[in-house]
Amino acid sequence: MKFGILINEGPFTHQAADTAYQFAKAAVAAGHEIFRVFFYHDGVNVASDLAVPPQDDRNVTDNWVKLAEANNIDMVVCIAAAQRRGLLDANEAQRQGKRADNIAPVFRISGLGQLVEAGIECDRLVTFGD
C-alpha cells in the first residue's frame, strides 16, 4: 500500500509528529511505501534545523531525517505555513532577503499542490493532528 502522511502539529506541543513517525516506520517495516510526508500548520516546525532538544529527549527532526534518507521519502513543508513561522530553505531565504536558511536536510518547501498530489497518488492519506 502507498501512504501519504499529513502532519499538522508541532514536534513539542503535540504527539502527532511522533505518532506519525512511528506509523511511517512501522509501515515501511511492513513493506508499504511512504510516498510523501506533508508538514502543514505548526507541523512545519518539525523541519527546523535549529531545534536542539535536551540529550535525554527525543529528536523528532532527526528521526524524520533518518527515516526519509533510508527510505527515499519525499518530505514537503508548506511554504505559507513555513514562512509565517520563520522557516526558510536557501532559495526562499535569498528570495525574501533573509540572512540565513533553517530547514533541515531532506525537507523541501513547496505548496499545497503537493498535498493534493499525495491524496491522488496514494492509496491512503493519513492525517496526524488537528
The Cα diameter of the chain in Å comes to: 44
Of 68, 64, 77, residue with least CA distance to 34: 68
Using the Cα atoms of residue 9, residue 12, residue 13 and residue 16 in order, give the sign of their dihedral. positive
CA distance 84 to 64: 22
Which residue among the candidates 78, 79, 82, 125 is catalytic per the annotation? Answer: 78
Look up 122 and say whether it is catalytic: no
Active-site positions? Answer: 78
